[in-house]
């Protein structure tokens, strides 16, 4: 049975085109992907991403547990900070990528919130508990009771400041506060996002979703705010070269080959699941790397299209592709064998009946 967020009826009433995404009926587009994409890059847009999963992890050994199942250094997080990380599996791949927030502690009990991908909520929950190992910590799955809205774009702080009693523009990147938004108190206001255009992610009780959604849209009217669907969210993240789980990373891809070595702390933390395999990957080197590329022409690359060298030999595969609304050309990402993965290398994308020329491009594709 397809799940729905608390804003399902609001999306329908607003004329959104809905589709199944990770088991949820989600808005893909309201007006057009191009218009919504442009709104976020130039002004401000509002996304419902309440399909994402949230786990509250609490206890004396909560940090120990999370450090054991993720690659980034949870011990380095102070209260009010968040970081991006991933859960490695036992074979060198990635269970999921996620955000971890360090919440205010109570006495000696540490408290964190893990935000996971919608398609992996059950898998992540089971994986974490499989590697609990008797830690003095517990987890609560708060996914169904938590709404998550992403207010993104250069005007996001001006919109949100109308509804808060603080200057949210002063929140440092990847930090958060608990504050009031509209009539709702104790909202987590996080200076994070998946678009590259700045903004905030707001976590609060799901039964307040319609109220806060409406208040944000009203506050953003003077900036021509647009409600945005997952279609624009995908083109925005792709222009920044951000990975999408299930496309660019999955259970078979190494965080090192995916360019996520910066969240894989082999030097500054101790044992974690899969560490020895990742260390061996680093020592022996990796055959493929995730790269960005731009295509000559108008044909959009699709997932699993073969990537060829100039002589027509297969050297990799496409993982994500789209027409970049900002650049006006097709862009994509994919895994390519060494030594063909260097920026500036000419490649070809096999479209089936035709091969089109492309070039390995530095990410992000656009500067914002």
Query: Burial code of 217-234, b = ≥16 C-beta within 10 A, e = fewer?
Result: bebbeebebbbbbbbbbb
Which of the four pLDDT bands, split at 50, 70 and 90, describes residue 118?
very high
Q: Are residues 367 and 224 in the same domain?
A: no
Query: Burial code of 102-140, b = ≥16 C-beta within 10 A, e = fewer?
Result: bbeeeeeebbbbbbbbbbbbebbbebbeeeeeebebebe
**What's the pLDDT score for residue 360?**
98
Question: Does some domain include residue 12?
Answer: yes
Q: Does the structure show a pLDDT above 90 at 148?
A: yes
What's the mean pLDDT when you consider all of the chain? 97
Question: Does some domain include residue 200?
Answer: yes
**What's the pLDDT score for residue 294?**
98
DSSP3 helix / strand / coil % (the chain, rounded to 5): 25, 35, 40
Chosen domain end from 180, 208, 239: 239
Which of the four pLDDT bands, split at 50, 70 and 90, describes residue 310?
very high
* 3 state DSSP class of 365: coil
Question: Does some domain include residue 56?
Answer: no
**What's the pLDDT score for residue 107?**
80
Determine how many CB atoms are found less than 10 A away from the CB of residue 39.
25
Mean pLDDT value across residues 151-176: 97
**What's the pLDDT score for residue 108?**
86
> What CATH number is associated with residue 163?
3.30.1360.120
Q: Are residues 36 and 155 in the same domain?
A: yes
Q: Tokens 């080959």, residue?
A: 257
Q: Are residues 172 and 42 in the same domain?
A: yes
Question: Does some domain include residue 73?
Answer: no
Chosen domain end from 174, 205, 239: 239
Q: Are residues 175 and 316 in the same domain?
A: no
Q: What's the total number of domains in the chain? A: 2
Q: Which of 60, 66, 47 is nearest to 5 (CA)?
A: 47
Regarding beta strands 82-88 and 94-106, do their DSSP bridges make them parallel or antiparallel, or are they unpaired? antiparallel
Question: Does some domain include residue 17?
Answer: yes
For 248-279, write each residue's pLDDT tens digit. Answer: 999 999 999 999 999 999 999 999 999 999 99
Kindly list the distances between the CA atom of residue 15 and the CA atoms of 10, 78, 150, 196, 354, in Å, as whole numbers in the listed order: 9, 42, 19, 27, 38
Segment (H or E) for 121: helix 121-130
For 332-344, write each residue's pLDDT tens digit. Answer: 999 999 999 999 9
**What's the pLDDT score for residue 356?**
96
Q: Does the structure show a pLDDT above 90 at 201?
A: yes
Which of the four pLDDT bands, split at 50, 70 and 90, describes residue 142?
very high
Q: Does the structure show a pLDDT above 90 at 26?
A: yes
Q: Does the structure show a pLDDT above 90 at 1?
A: no
Q: Are residues 28 and 177 in the same domain?
A: yes
Contact in structure between 116 and 108 (CB atoms under 8 Å): no
Mean pLDDT value across residues 199-226: 98
Regarding beta strands 45-48 and 226-228, do their DSSP bridges make them parallel or antiparallel, or are they unpaired? parallel
Q: Are residues 46 and 149 in the same domain?
A: yes
Report pTM: 0.97
Q: Collect all residues with Cβ–Cβ distance below 8 Å to 103 and sequence separation of at least 6.
A: 56, 79, 111, 112, 113
Q: Are residues 18 and 153 in the same domain?
A: yes
Which of the four pLDDT bands, split at 50, 70 and 90, describes residue 106?
confident
Q: Are residues 219 and 305 in the same domain?
A: no
Domain containing 224 equals 3-50+145-239
Kindly list the distances between the CA atom of residue 190 and the CA atoms of 18, 175, 178, 227, in Å, as whole numbers in the listed order: 27, 6, 9, 19
Question: Does some domain include residue 361?
Answer: yes
Question: Does some domain include residue 173?
Answer: yes
Q: Does the structure show a pLDDT above 90 at 6?
A: yes
Question: Does some domain include residue 61?
Answer: no
Mean pLDDT value across residues 7-11: 98
In the chain, what percentage of residues exceed pLDDT 70?
100
Which of the four pLDDT bands, split at 50, 70 and 90, describes residue 18?
very high
**CA-to-CA distance for 205 and 194, rounded, in angstroms?**
21
Which of the four pLDDT bands, split at 50, 70 and 90, describes residue 353?
confident
Q: Are residues 304 and 227 in the same domain?
A: no
Chosen domain end from 239, 258, 275: 239
> What CATH number is associated with residue 327?
2.40.30.110
**What's the pLDDT score for residue 168?**
98
Which of the four pLDDT bands, split at 50, 70 and 90, describes residue 79?
very high
Q: Does the structure show a pLDDT above 90 at 149?
A: yes
Q: For the purposes of burial, counting CB atoms within 10 Å of the CB of 311, is it exposed (0-12), middle (13-18) or buried (19 or more)?
A: exposed
Mean pLDDT value across residues 306-326: 97
């Amino acid at each position: 049975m397809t799940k729905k967020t608390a804003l399902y009826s609001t999306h329908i009433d607003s004329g959104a085109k809905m589709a199944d995404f990770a088991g949820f009926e989600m808005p893909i587009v309201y007006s057009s992907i191009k218009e919504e994409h442009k709104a976020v890059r130039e002004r401000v847009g509002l996304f419902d991403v309440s399909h994402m999963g949230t786990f509250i992890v609490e206890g004396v050994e909560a940090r120990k547990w999370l450090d054991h199942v993720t690659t980034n250094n949870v011990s380095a997080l102070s209260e009010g900070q968040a970081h991006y990380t991933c859960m490695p599996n036992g074979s060198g791949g990635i269970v999921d990528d996620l955000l971890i927030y360090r919440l205010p502690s109570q006495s000696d009990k540490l408290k964190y919130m893990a935000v996971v991908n919608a398609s992996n909520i059950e898998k992540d929950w089971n994986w974490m508990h499989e590697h609990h190992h008797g830690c003095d910590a517990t987890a609560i799955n708060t996914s169904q009771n938590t709404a998550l809205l992403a207010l993104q774009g250069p005007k996001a702080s001006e919109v949100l400041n109308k509804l808060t009693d603080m200057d949210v523009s002063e929140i440092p990147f990847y930090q958060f506060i608990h504050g009031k938004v509209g009539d709702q108190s104790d909202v987590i206001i996080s200076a994070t996002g998946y678009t590259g255009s700045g903004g905030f992610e707001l976590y609060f009780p799901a039964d307040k979703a319609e109220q806060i959604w409406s208040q944000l849209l009203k506050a953003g009217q003077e900036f021509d705010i647009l409600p945005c669907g997952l279609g624009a969210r995908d083109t925005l993240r792709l222009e920044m070269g951000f990975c999408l789980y299930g496309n660019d990373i999955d259970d078979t891809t190494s965080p090192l080959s995916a360019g996520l070595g910066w969240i894989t702390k082999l030097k500054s933390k101790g044992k974690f699941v899969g560490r020895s395999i990742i260390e061996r990957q680093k020592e022996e080197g990796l055959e493929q790397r995730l790269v960005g590329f731009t295509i000559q022409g108008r044909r959009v690359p699709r997932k699993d299209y073969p990537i060829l060298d100039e002589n027509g030999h297969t050297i990799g595969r496409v993982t994500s592709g789209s027409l970049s609304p900002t650049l006006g050309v097709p862009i994509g990402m994919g895994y390519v064998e060494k030594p063909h993965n260097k920026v500036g290398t000419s490649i070809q994308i096999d479209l089936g009946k035709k091969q089109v020329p492309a070039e390995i491009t530095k990410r992000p594709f656009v500067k914002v």
